Chain A
C-alpha cells in the first residue's frame, strides 16, 4: 500500500506492505535511522518520534496510521543555524553517555516542551517515564531539559539568523 506523510517538513511516500510499522517505514524505506530499534515492543522508547505534536513509539504505530500526518524525527531538529537547544544542552552537559536512547529522549522532551514550555521536575519525570536509559540515571537529562526550557523561552522566536561575517 502507498503511504504518504510529511517527515521533517518534507512530503515523503513509499509503497510498503500493510504490516509495516512507522519505525520500519522511517528506517528502512526512508533511511532515517535516527529513531532506534531497541525492544521493538514499546518498552524502551528508543524509537520515539513526534506525530502531529505527540511523542509516540514508532514501533507500535503502523506506517498506514501515520498516513497524511506530520512526523518529526531526530534528523529534523538541527537547522542550518545550529543544533536544537535540547541537542545543544545535552551535548554540553553530558546528558547522554552511549547515546542509544538519545533520539527518543530528545524527541519526548521536545514534545513536552512544545506543549508545556516550563515543566516542573515531576512533569519531566512523568513525560520521560517511557524512555529507558542504562547509562545516565536520567539525572543530567532532567537538569538539561530545565536548561533547554530556559533557553527556548528566552530565545527570540522565528527571526532569521544574523548574517555571519
Chain B
C-alpha cells in the first residue's frame, strides 16, 4: 500500500568566492536619445541574467528596462567576466553594471546640475528624468541632458567599472577568513507517496522557500526555483550515470539516463523570502544553483517519514527503496522474541 510522508531540508549556499580573483567588468553608456548600452562579458544561457542586468542598469540610470540595449559574451568588445558560473552573475556582474551605470549617471548629474541651477548631489535619476530630490517638478529629460553632455559640454556619459568580492586573506594559524562574499538560505518541503510493495516514490508537492536577497525579477526567480526543484527531483529519484568495468558509460542516451518528465513533476509552491543584502546590487544575492540543493534531502527525509527507511545512496530508485523496506522488515522480524 501507499504511505504518505513529508520531509524537510534546509541549506545555505555561498555566493561570490573570494579565494581567487573573481571579477566582472561592465561599461555603461547613455546615448543622446536617452537610451543606454551595457557591455558585459557574461553569457545569457536562458536563466534571464541579461534581463536582470538590464533592470539593474535601468534602476541606476532612472530609465526603463526597454531602454537598455545589452551587448554580451563577445571577448573582442566586452569587458572581462569570470563567467556565468557559481550563481555569481546577478551578484558580481550586477554590481559591476550598477557601479558603471552610477558613474555614467554622475556625469549626467554634473550636466543637469548646471541646467537646473543646483548642486549635483541634490539630484536623482527617475522616470527618464534628472530631477531635484524632493522637488521632482524641477527636472530635465535624461535625453536632453545626455544630448547636451554629448554635443554641448563634451562629456559623453560613459561609465566603466569592475567588481571583485572583497578578498579577506586567510589567517595562516586558524585557517579562517571570509571565503565568500555572501550567503543565501533556503528550505524545501517535499510530500511523497511511497508504495511499500514496489518501492516506487511519487513526489506530490514541493514547497520551496528561498532567500535570494532582493528578487530583482520575481518571475525569473520562480523559474530558477522550478528548474532547480526539477533537477533536484532527477538527482533524488532517477538520474545516475552508470559505467561498465572499463569505465565506459553504459547509459549514454535519454532512453536509459532517466530525466523527469511532465508526469513526474510535483506541484511546486515557490516562496521568495526577500531580504536586502548590503553587498549586492540593490540588495540582490543569488538563486540559480541553490535552488536544487535541498530538494533531494527533503525527498529522502519524506521517504523516511513515509516508510521509515533511510536512503543513503542516490538515486532512490524503486529497487533501492524496496530493498531498504525489505531489510527493515527482516530486522524487525528478527527482533520479535520467540
Is A43 in contact with B230, judged by CB distance below 8 angstroms? no
Q: How far is the CB of A94 from chain B (nearest CB, A)?
A: 5
A11 within 8 A of partner (CB): no
The answer to whether B265 and A137 have CB atoms under 8 Å apart is yes
Q: How many contacts A-B (CB < 8 Å)?
A: 71
A145 to chain B, nearest CB (A): 11
Contact A139 B259 (CB under 8 A): no
Fill in one digit per residue for B19-46: 1 if any A CB lies within 8 Å of its CB, else 0. 0000000000000000000000000011
Residues facing A in B204-263 (CB within 8 A) are 219-220, 222-223, 226-231, 253-255, 259, 261-263
For chain A residues 24-45, which have a beta carbon within 8 Å of chain B? Answer: 39, 41, 43-44
B283 within 8 A of partner (CB): no
The verdict on A153 contacting chain B, using a C-beta distance below 8 Å, is no
**Chain B residues near A99 (CB, 8 Å)?**
46
B268 touches A137 (CB 8 A): yes
* Interface residues on chain B, number (Cβ under 8 Å): 23
Q: Which of A64-72, A80-88, A124-132 contacts B (4 or more CB under 8 A)?
A: A124-132
Q: A74 near B: Cβ within 8 Å?
A: no
Measured between beta carbons, the chain A residues less than 8 angstroms from B45 are 97-98
A96 at the interface (CB under 8 A from B): yes
CB–CB B48/A94 < 8 A? yes
Q: Given A39, A93, A125, A135, which contacts B262 in the complex, CB threshold below 8 Å?
A: A125
Chain B: which residue is nearest A43 at the CB level? B254
The answer to whether A2 has its CB under 8 Å from any CB of chain B is no
- A139 cross-chain contacts in B, Cβ below 8 A: 222, 226, 265, 268
Name the distance in Å between A100's Cβ and chain B's nearest Cβ: 9
**Which 10 pairs from chain A and chain B are nearest by CB?**
A137-B230, A98-B46, A97-B46, A137-B226, A43-B254, A139-B226, A125-B262, A128-B262, A94-B223, A129-B261
- Residues of A bordering B, CB below 8 Å: 39, 41, 43-44, 93-94, 96-99, 124-126, 128-132, 134-140, 142
Ordered by A's residue number, 27 sampled pairs between the chains whose C-beta atoms are within 8 Å are: A41-B253, A94-B222, A97-B45, A97-B47, A97-B227, A99-B46, A125-B262, A125-B263, A126-B262, A129-B262, A130-B261, A132-B254, A132-B259, A132-B261, A134-B259, A135-B47, A135-B223, A136-B230, A137-B228, A137-B229, A138-B226, A138-B230, A138-B262, A139-B222, A139-B268, A140-B223, A142-B262
New A-B pairs, 15, CB < 8 Å, besides A98-B45, A98-B46, A142-B262: A39-B254, A43-B255, A94-B223, A97-B45, A97-B223, A97-B227, A125-B265, A128-B262, A134-B259, A135-B223, A137-B228, A138-B230, A138-B262, A139-B265, A140-B223
